[in-house]
Structure 1
Amino acid sequence: MTRSSAGGAKPPGEGARLYAPEFRRSAEIGSFNPADNSVEVLWTTGAAVRRQNWVTGRYYNEILEVTPEAVDLARLNAGAPLLAGHDTDLRAVIGSVVPGSAVIRNGKGYARVGLSAAAGDADLVAKIRTGIIRNVSVGYRLIKVVVTEQADDDDEWRVVSWEPFEISAVAVGADPGAHFRSTSAHFEPCQFVGLDLGTASQERTRASTIAELAESAGEPAFGLRHVAAGTSIQDFRHKLLELLVEREAPHTDGVLVTNFNGNRQRDQQRASAIQAAILHRINPTNALPDGAREFRGMGLIDMARDVLEAGGISTRGMNRQEIAAEALMQRSSGMHTTSDFSVILGSVVSTSLRAGYESAPQTFRPLVRETTVSDFKEVTRAQLGEAPRLEKVNEHGEYKRGTIGEGSEKYRAYKFGKIIGITREVIVNDDLNAFGRIPQMFGVAAAQLESDLVWAEILGNPVMGDGTALFHANHNNLASAAALAVAPIGAMRAAMAKQTGLDKKTVLNISPAFVIVPVELETKAEQLLRSVYQPTNANDATPASMRRLGLISEPRLDNGVVHPVTGVAIAGSNTAWYLAASPGQIDTVELAYLEGNRGVYTESKMAFNTDGIEIKARMEVGAKVIDWRAFQKNAGA
């Protein structure tokens, strides 16, 4: 029996190094914070887990030391991923650790994890938010282990140095005996103190050699099975060769079953590199990672040939048209993966479209409050009134009951979209315009659609829930026509402050936060609000409080807008101007997206009738002014 150095004598084999796989342990998801879409995660308690030594076959209890000195938190605090079930596919990333949030407290590991807002992750993230998925499993690497061997075959492995590198949402509960191994079985060198390896030297060589051979062939699980079965290195080489031959054997229709390289991770890295190279060709300011440099000088046909060859499809003797057609073909075998050329091109188009959407100017953003709706049905937004006044209660008297007034505004989200087609001719002609400028223009159009929705609400003067137009004398928000100047701004500020609640009694004291003008008045507004010089007439001086107002200038106020839903043209005015409150003080305009689909969303499919692929861009959004008391309008002069 060999004891660890903690027992006094220096144990044999101290400092020995061995290759150990990455491990997994179950833990728990904590509280969800809707403000930043994040969850608190308890990712380790250090509880003992019973495992089997894949080198010697002996069982042991692994105990993690959970102290700041033992745990290297660098990778977690750098923003390590939150995965779905330890899947290393990029599509399995459903969040990331908030940088700097991973800590060790009282022998436990905690971190805050930000959740994905991508549409494809909505279902899984929703289950985490609502507490249906409550468990996580941390992936970690052993660095130093102190081993104490026991006569009863249950050794103790105390991990005194280790590194967590990912957290995964899992279905298995926080069972101290539950653990997962990585399907990739990545092996890392680890220092074992107190483990006698004299009789296990050959076994260790056999196991590590088999693991490395299996990893290089893209069959790590196959290697682990033969490590456990005691297969010799020579026999394993024969069995691995048989597996590869069988894997690459053609079907009767001549289509190969799987990728020749057999390494899904390398395929995905190639796909990412090609995508980056295409985006760099479209716009040289886009980053060109090291892995993408080998594709920098290639045209689309050359890239398509590379992907086909990597997938085991020979392009010898094919002309440009045939290569393009083969690269875009949807396979009946169902083996289409993220490395396939059509998927790469679809991703490039989506990236360009998203870039156009995010770069388009949207002046309305400070005015709106974003929210989500679960479907396309009409939703009702309550316009809460003021709380009832407190009244004097006499000695031995009873408290009187009060009610809170409530108004309502109704609206719904609508679906908008268009389809972009990529044909075989686009690839043959190496037409990067189809992947760069055109999708970017679609993205800009999507952003313009949101702007049209919001400004149509303000310009269109819609009827509110009380049956009166948004800007109306009955709402005390339609000022006497006057040119933009200090005096009319002051009068409108006073009118906004004097707005009352639904009981027509309680004064709300609303303060304007923005002056909204057509571009025709932008320079004048800047002079009025930003000038530091005193005018000749002291009565025309701009008060300091007024200079703190934000300025929003929007050309739709000059030119008008066509309502995206009704198609009705709404006239503009180059003299009318407005005051608006902050959405943090009172409801202004609500912009609602279908749950999980903020902004523009894309998806692609094969287009059999055009011999290419189609990318569908869609938005599911609606807008509505919620409270007239947040606005003041002046027709100008």
Structure 2
Amino acid sequence: MTMMSLPPDTEAVATRAREAERDRVSTIYDLTGRLNLERSFAEDLVKRGVSVDESRRLILDQVAAKSDETRTFPHVSVPLGGRDERITRRDAVANALLHRYSPTLFPLEDAARQYRGMTLLELARESLGNAGVNTRGLSRDEVATRALHSTSDFPEILSAVTNKTLRQAYDAYPRTFALFCRQVLATDFKSMHRVQLGEAPQLLEVGESGEFKRGTLGESKESYKVKTYGRVVAITRQTLINDDLDAFTRIPAMYGNSIAQLESDVVWGIITANPAMADGNALFHTTHKNLAGTGAALDVGSVGAARAAMAKQTGLDKKTVLNVRPAFLIVPASLELKAEQLVAQNLVPAATSSVVPQSIRTLAPISEPRLDAASETAWYLAASPNQIDTIEYAYLEGQQGAYIETRNGFDVDGVEIKCRLDFGAKAIDWRGLYKNPGA
């Protein structure tokens, strides 16, 4: 007797199919989620019924494409015995462009001579060729687009040129505040609490029993934090086509200059704004004994009185004399010449009463035009930050000064350059500063 085959269990088949579909969908969403891909990309794969294996391949392709869009420029390892040829060539092209920007600041190096006189578009074509891209028959627009969105060295070259021009302009800007202020590094963006140290307790005679008595340090606390400032500069493909070198040399240089100006604005703004300290009184206040009761013109007598007031400053116990000695004479631009004449070393006065004491002649004059907007007559004395705190300014650790990042543009067809400054400043102690409103 022949046994008849049983009909397939349609319900079991349907169950396995549903489970397989659930596995496929969950796998796709899981992979795209872990690789930070858009959910719409996963939804498209699910709707089209793409298999798991094919989905994996497409997901990897999407990750590679996304990596090209947001490029990072890792350090290239240098083989023992010499520099990497790619780095050498990239630096040479950057030097040729920098030499075009400013021959005096960036002398032409021997390796860069072969690139001298080449336009931006010619250098872009050269970079594509070195990367193995055939540019024969490509239009100017196609060359510019591929140079900005390819694995060639050209984006790195633009980044290097922009970085150096921005940094050079940033470093060249005069920072008059650095002489009498103290620089520190902040580890994060949280408020930093700075202790205004009082005097150490006086030493007492040790009796025959050998007992040392304990003392305490007086202290007052000031706090501030680092803030972030920034802008984005774009280098478009039109820049390459038009051979507009200024777009990524002079414009970044202007940003470097403006970043340095911002630092000066923040620090000198403390002097002109006269903010409140932790004790509730303004930085320059009669309670702090660092503000002249009556304004006086800049001369030997008024400077002598200001110097004496600083010397008689006391510790937080209101008793211990600190003998703070001024090191800088700070004036607005309108008083710069008068300040220089006052501290000049080679003047031979006709009368003894006109002699400028050596202690005043040792003051270093600092002229700052930002002070003129607040007052053209007010002048200041400041102690060295090595003797006592005055104003403290801070950069984020690892991000000192102007900092730039580069990526392929999302909002523009080109390269975006982000300029950033992490900076903060605060008056820490009033006893190292003195103000006379002038007359």
Say yes or no: TM over 0.5: yes
The answer to whether 1:617 aligns with 2:419 is yes
- Asked if 2 retains the 8 angstrom alpha-carbon contact of 1:579 and 1:631, the reply is yes
> Which residue of structure 2 lines up, in the alignment, with residue 436 of structure 1?
249
The 2-side partners of 1:312 and 1:504 are apart by 76
> Which residue of structure 1 lines up, in the alignment, with residue 237 of structure 2?
424
Superposition deviation, residue 537 in structure 1: 4.2
> Which residue of structure 2 lines up, in the alignment, with residue 81 of structure 1?
none
Q: 1:487 aligns with which of 290, 301, 325?
A: 301
Q: Residue 280 of structure 2: SS of its match in structure 1?
A: coil
Letter in 2 for 1:266: E
Point out the structure with the larger helix share.
2
Q: Residue 84 of structure 2: SS of its match in structure 1?
A: helix
Superposition deviation, residue 610 in structure 1: 1.3
The answer to whether 1:290 aligns with 2:110 is yes
> Which residue of structure 2 lines up, in the alignment, with residue 628 of structure 1?
430
Q: Residue 103 of structure 2: SS of its match in structure 1?
A: coil
Q: Which has the higher contact order (CA 8 A, sep 6+)?
A: 2
Deviations along 1:509-555, one digit per CA (max 9) or x if unpaired, are 11000000001011111111105334344223211221111000000
Superposition deviation, residue 270 in structure 1: 1.3
Letter in 2 for 1:289: E
The 1-side partners of 2:312 and 2:201 are apart by 18
The 1-side partners of 2:113 and 2:74 are apart by 21
Q: Residue 624 of structure 1: SS of its match in structure 2?
A: strand
Letter in 1 for 2:134: S
The 2-side partners of 1:507 and 1:513 are apart by 18
The 2-side partners of 1:530 and 1:505 are apart by 36
Q: 2:280 aligns with which of 467, 473, 487?
A: 467
Letter in 2 for 1:622: G
Superposition deviation, residue 342 in structure 1: 1.2
> Which residue of structure 1 lines up, in the alignment, with residue 8 of structure 2?
none
Deviations along 1:403-436, one digit per CA (max 9) or x if unpaired, are 1111111000000011110000000000011122
Superposition deviation, residue 184 in structure 1: 4.2
Superposition deviation, residue 387 in structure 1: 1.2
> Which residue of structure 2 lines up, in the alignment, with residue 389 of structure 1?
202
- The 5-angstrom pairing of residues 31-110 of structure 1 reads 91=75
> Which residue of structure 2 lines up, in the alignment, with residue 305 of structure 1?
125
TM-score by length of 1: 0.56
> Which residue of structure 2 lines up, in the alignment, with residue 212 of structure 1?
none
The 2-side partners of 1:396 and 1:436 are apart by 75
> Which residue of structure 2 lines up, in the alignment, with residue 538 of structure 1?
352
Q: Residue 530 of structure 1: SS of its match in structure 2?
A: coil
- Asked if 2 retains the 8 angstrom alpha-carbon contact of 1:282 and 1:435, the reply is no
The 1-side partners of 2:80 and 2:167 are apart by 36
The 2-side partners of 1:407 and 1:342 are apart by 51
- The 5-angstrom pairing of residues 53-452 of structure 1 reads 91=75, 184=79, 265-285=84-104, 286-329=106-149, 331=150, 336=151, 340-396=153-209, 398-452=211-265
Superposition deviation, residue 399 in structure 1: 3.2
The 2-side partners of 1:598 and 1:497 are apart by 35
Q: Residue 345 of structure 1: SS of its match in structure 2?
A: helix
> Which residue of structure 2 lines up, in the alignment, with residue 596 of structure 1?
398
Identify the range of structure 1 (339-348 vs 436-445) with the bigger mean alpha-carbon deviation. Answer: 339-348
The 1-side partners of 2:76 and 2:308 are apart by 54
> Which residue of structure 2 lines up, in the alignment, with residue 558 of structure 1?
372
Deviations along 1:197-245, one digit per CA (max 9) or x if unpaired, are xxxxxxxxxxxxxxxxxxxxxxxxxxxxxxxxxxxxxxxxxxxxxxxxx
The answer to whether 1:522 aligns with 2:331 is no
Q: Residue 273 of structure 1: SS of its match in structure 2?
A: helix
Letter in 1 for 2:327: A
Letter in 2 for 1:502: L
Letter in 1 for 2:394: A
Q: Residue 477 of structure 1: SS of its match in structure 2?
A: coil
Letter in 1 for 2:85: R
Q: Residue 431 of structure 2: SS of its match in structure 1?
A: helix
The 2-side partners of 1:354 and 1:539 are apart by 50
Aligned residues: 365
Structure 1 residues 618 and 399 mapped into 2: Cα distance closer, same or farther (>3 Å)? same
Structure 1 residues 537 and 597 mapped into 2: Cα distance closer, same or farther (>3 Å)? same
Structure 1 residues 489 and 291 mapped into 2: Cα distance closer, same or farther (>3 Å)? same
Letter in 2 for 1:417: G
Letter in 2 for 1:280: H
Letter in 1 for 2:368: E
Structure 1: 4+ residue segments shifted above 4 A: 183-187
The answer to whether 1:578 aligns with 2:380 is yes
The 2-side partners of 1:92 and 1:319 are apart by 31
> Which residue of structure 2 lines up, in the alignment, with residue 159 of structure 1?
none
TM-score by length of 2: 0.80
Q: 1:457 aligns with which of 265, 270, 275?
A: 270
Superposition deviation, residue 609 in structure 1: 2.7
